[in-house]
Every structure is written in structure tokens, then in C-alpha cells.
């Protein structure tokens, strides 16, 4: 699999005249290969080449380059792009009014010089962690050349675009794990920031309460570059080592039912971090067992998605992905009183979780408890699909429910299928968590 270097390395290598345009032409050629099938819903080749040429012009003039100047970046197809209908992975959106302006995130990427190469495929309306789309096809996870495995969702095309070397970053979204799940399954780094750090304007909603604008890349440093662009200001990340870091290892929920390969990779990572001086502290964290009860009936995503889609669900249900329709319909019977109670109970739960995590630098866990399942198995069986979906989102959703921030980092041995290690913290701890993630990434790469 041919991949792109990290952003800082690319900056150092793209010094020759026309280098950015040459890179874009290489990326566009690779985007036409069979391995990239179902990754894009629309390509912006001409616009991307124009951005690359602009970067070459700035470089030739000796002027400063913006942080993503001329570098290929993809955008999940739930962000508004001026002049185009935002499809959000669904045929239901055909014929709806076109966006009159770019989403805030897209606008900031353009201002940073990004060569936006296209819009990427996704789970319909972002409502699944699997990444299957029956309307548009499912991008194949490039990490297994022999078995067609799921990429994870809902930011499926974003993950595969980065994993294939078609982009230095994939703009996605994370409501219950939609950045971290595909990043973990495709061997990438994903950063789910505190929700309020990045603007949601112009992003098609799944859950107003939980949606987060964020991206995935090949390294923590690259995630921080993109996060700084999306947020309008970079995090002030403290330099730190692992010695003395206190990492809470939850004994409730997050370690349940791990596939042997995931358990082995995670345990190896814990041993490496412990040997480097990190303190791994087992923490009961029984509060995690309360999520399923608090997030009922229906759950925030179902209730808020039903508010968005209720008319279409009642009049054109046959056009939905049936599995997405079934999940949206769970929100139909939830009363305003039930919804308000959910919000109140969540606030109380967050306060108790933050108290329990006081004194720790991060919560550490596997990102997902299983390896990427084969696509065919989940296409064939609703039971297998919904079981896998619940497993994939279980650990990541807990951090959305916390309104927290989290990184997923690859922790598998060379040659193995990808396994993600997740570092998480409460809201507003993004900078400190980023410093820790850099240290963990460096240790795991030794």
C-alpha cells in the first residue's frame, strides 16, 4: 500500500518547482485505481489542481505557505460545498436545494490552502459505525489484501482515502465514534476533539448533542495541524514524557469481550507504556455501565435524527437504507419529557465521571474490541450487522457521551491487522491529551 508522508515531511520534500501539482496528479491517478472504488462521491480535480498550483506559486515567490498549502485533503459528504446539494450518503437528498456557501470546516480548509480532492463516501446520514452503504457501495479496507473487510464508519471513505495515500487528512465527523472507529480499523490516527472546539455550521446533523467536527491522518502531529485549522487556532500542546503519567484502565465495559488479537495488541501496548514509566491504574469506573440506561429510550442520535428525518421516514421510507431507517425510527415515540430527562441525567453522569477521572492524565482502552469484520458477513445478516455495530461503537460512544476528547493510535504489531488504542479525557483537556498522545505514539513506534 503506497502512503503519503506526514505533513511536516511533505513540506520538506515539496521544494522543487511544480512539486505540489505533480503530487496532485499522482494522487488523482491513484484515485482512479480499483482499490479506490466507492471512496469518492464526487471528485474536485480541477479545484484541487488550482490549489496545488497556487501553493507552487507562493513557494516560487518565497512567501510563507499556509499550513495545508497544496496538500490533498478529502471531505466527508455531509459538509456543505457551495453550489452542491449535500447528499450525506443518501439518495433521499437528490433534488434538494444546493448549499449556498461552504461549511465552516470546508471554508477553513480552503483558507489553509488545502487541495480538496473530493467528497468521500459514508454511512447514510452517518448513522452506523460499520461503513456499509447500500446505495453507493462500501469502500474496502485496504489493510487486508486477501479479504474484503469493512472500513468502519460512518467516515468510511475518509479513512480509506488516507489509508490508500490519496490524502494527508480526511475530514469526517464523530457522533459515536465515526472518526475513531474507521481510523482504528484502517490503521490511522483519529482525533475526536471537545465538541465545542470546532464549528458545526454547514455539517448535516445526526445528533445536535453529540456531533463533532474532526479529522483523521497518519500521525498525531498531523491531526493537530488539521485540528488547528478547523478550530481557527492551534492547541498549545505541552511537551511531556511518559514517566509519571497516570492512565486509568477501566474495569467496566471497555475491556469486555475483546477479540484475542485485540487483547494481545492492547496488552503489549500497556506493557510498553508501563516499562516507559507510565502508571497504569485499574479503575472500576462503574459509571460506564449506566450509559445504556441513561441513553434510553431511543438515545440522543435516534431522537435527534428522527427530528431531522421524520417527514421523509413517513413518506419515503423505502428510499432509506433499511438498517438506518430502523435506527432513526427508534426516536419516534420519545416524548419531550423523556428527552429532557435524558439531558439532565447525562449532565449528572458527566459530573460524576469527571470526578472519578480526577488525578488521571487519561483513560486508556482499546478503541474497538474487534478486528474489522468481512463486508460479506455483515451484508448478509441483519443480526451480524447490528451486533458488530454495537461492538464497534461501544467504547468510542462512551467518550461522546462524556462530551470528552480522544485519540486513537495504531498499536498492532507489524504485519497484523490494525488495532486501535484509545486515550480519552474530559471536555477541555484537548491540549494535555495531545501532549500525552504524542508521547505514547513515540513509544509505540520504537
Q: Does 107 participate in catalysis according to the annotation? A: no
Question: Hey, how many other C-beta atoms are within 10 angstroms of the C-beta on 162?
Answer: 34
Distances, alpha carbon 422 to alpha carbons 109, 233, 277, in Å = 26, 24, 18
CA 280, CA 288: separation in Å to the nearest integer?
19
Torsion of CA 440, 188, 403, 341, to 10 degrees: -140
Q: What distance in Å separates the CA atoms of residue 223 and residue 152, rounded to the nearest whole number?
A: 19
Spatial contact of 224 and 340, defined as CB atoms under 8 Å apart = no
The question of whether 154 is a catalytic residue gets the answer yes
Radius of gyration (C-alpha) of the chain in whole angstroms: 21
- The region that residue 179 occupies, defined by phi over 0 for left and psi between -120 and 50 for alpha, beta otherwise, is alpha
DSSP 231-281: HTS---PPP--STT-EEEEE-SSTTTT--HHHHHHHHHHHHHHHHTT-EEE
CA distance 173 to 150: 18
3-state secondary structure of 290: helix
Annotated catalytic residue within 90, 128, 154, 161: 154
**Residue 169 DSSP SS3:** strand
Is 192 annotated in the active site? no
Q: Is 146 exposed, middle or buried (0-12, 13-18, 19+ CB in 10 A)?
A: exposed
Which residues does residue 48 pair with via DSSP β-bridges, in sequence order? Answer: none
Of 128, 178, 207, 365, catalytic: 178
Q: Which of 368, 358, 349 is nearest to 287 (CA)?
A: 349
Between CA 297 and CA 112 the distance in angstroms is 42
Q: Are 216 and 183 in contact (CB under 8 A)?
A: yes
Q: Of these residues, 76, 90, 207, 365, which one is catalytic?
A: 76
With 0-12 / 13-18 / 19 or more C-beta atoms within 10 angstroms meaning exposed / middle / buried, residue 84 is: middle
Q: SS3 of 180, please?
A: helix
Residues designated catalytic:
76, 154, 178
Amino acid at each position: 500500500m503506497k502512503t503519503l508522508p506526514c505533513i511536516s515531511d511533505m513540506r520538506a520534500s515539496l521544494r522543487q518547482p511544480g512539486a505540489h501539482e505533480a503530487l496532485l496528479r499522482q494522487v488523482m491517478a491513484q484515485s482512479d485505481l480499483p482499490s479506490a472504488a466507492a471512496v469518492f462521491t464526487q471528485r474536485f480535480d480541477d479545484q484541487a489542481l488550482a490549489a496545488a498550483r497556487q501553493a507552487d506559486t507562493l513557494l516560487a515567490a518565497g512567501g510563507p505557505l499556509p499550513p495545508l498549502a497544496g496538500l490533498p485533503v478529502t471531505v466527508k459528504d455531509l459538509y456543505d460545498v457551495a453550489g452542491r446539494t449535500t447528499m450525506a450518503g443518501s439518495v433521499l437528498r437528490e433534488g434538494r436545494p444546493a448549499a449556498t456557501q461552504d461549511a465552516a470546516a470546508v471554508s477553513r480548509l480552503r483558507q489553509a490552502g488545502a487541495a480538496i480532492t473530493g467528497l468521500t463516501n459514508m454511512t447514510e446520514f452517518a448513522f452506523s459505525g460499520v461503513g456499509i452503504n447500500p446505495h453507493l457501495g462500501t469502500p474496502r479496507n485496504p489493510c487486508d489484501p486477501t479479504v474484503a473487510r469493512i472500513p468502519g464508519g460512518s467516515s468510511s471513505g475518509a479513512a480509506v482515502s488516507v489509508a490508500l495515500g490519496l490524502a494527508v487528512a480526511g475530514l469526517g465527523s464523530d457522533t459515536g465514534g465515526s472518526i475513531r472507529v474507521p481510523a482504528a480499523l484502517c490503521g490511522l490516527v483519529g482525533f475526536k476533539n471537545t465538541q465545542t472546539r470546532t464549528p458545526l455550521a454547514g455539517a448535516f446533523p445526526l445528533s445536535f448533542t453529540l456531533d463533532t467536527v474532526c479529522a483523521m491522518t497518519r500521525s498525531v502531529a498531523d491531526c493537530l495541524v488539521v485540528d488547528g485549522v478547523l478550530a481557527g487556532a492551534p492547541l498549545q500542546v505541552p511537551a511531556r514524557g511518559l514517566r509519571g503519567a497516570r492512565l486509568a484502565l477501566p474495569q467496566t465495559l471497555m475491556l469486555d469481550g475483546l477479540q484475542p488479537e485485540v487483547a494481545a495488541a492492547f496488552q503489549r501496548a500497556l506493557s510498553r507504556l508501563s516499562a516507559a514509566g507510565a502508571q497504569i491504574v485499574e479503575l472500576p469506573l462503574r459509571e460506564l455501565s449506566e450509559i445504556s440506561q441513561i441513553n434510553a429510550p431511543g438515545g440522543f442520535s435516534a431522537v435527534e435524527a428522527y427530528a431531522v428525518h421524520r417527514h421523509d421516514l413517513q413518506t419515503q421510507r423505502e428510499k432509506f437504507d433499511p438498517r438506518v431507517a430502523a435506527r432513526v425510527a427508534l426516536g419516534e415515540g420519545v416524548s419531550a419529557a423523556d428527552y429532557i430527562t435524558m439531558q439532565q441525567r447525562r449532565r449528572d453522569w458527566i459530573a460524576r465521571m469527571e470526578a472519578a477521572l480526577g488525578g488521571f492524565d487519561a483513560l486508556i482502552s482499546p478503541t474497538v474490541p474487534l478486528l474489522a469484520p468481512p463486508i460479506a458477513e455483515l451484508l448478509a445478516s441483519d443480526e451480524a450487522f447490528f451486533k458488530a455495530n454495537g461492538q464497534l461503537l461501544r467504547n468510542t460512544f462512551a467518550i461522546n457521551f462524556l462530551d470528552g476528547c480522544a485519540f486513537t493510535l495504531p498499536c498492532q504489531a507489524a504485519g497484523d491487522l490494525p488495532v486501535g488504542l484509545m486515550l480519552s479525557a474530559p471536555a477541555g483537556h484537548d491540549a494535555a491529551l495531545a501532549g500525552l498522545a504524542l508521547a505514547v505514539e513515540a513509544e509505540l513506534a520504537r
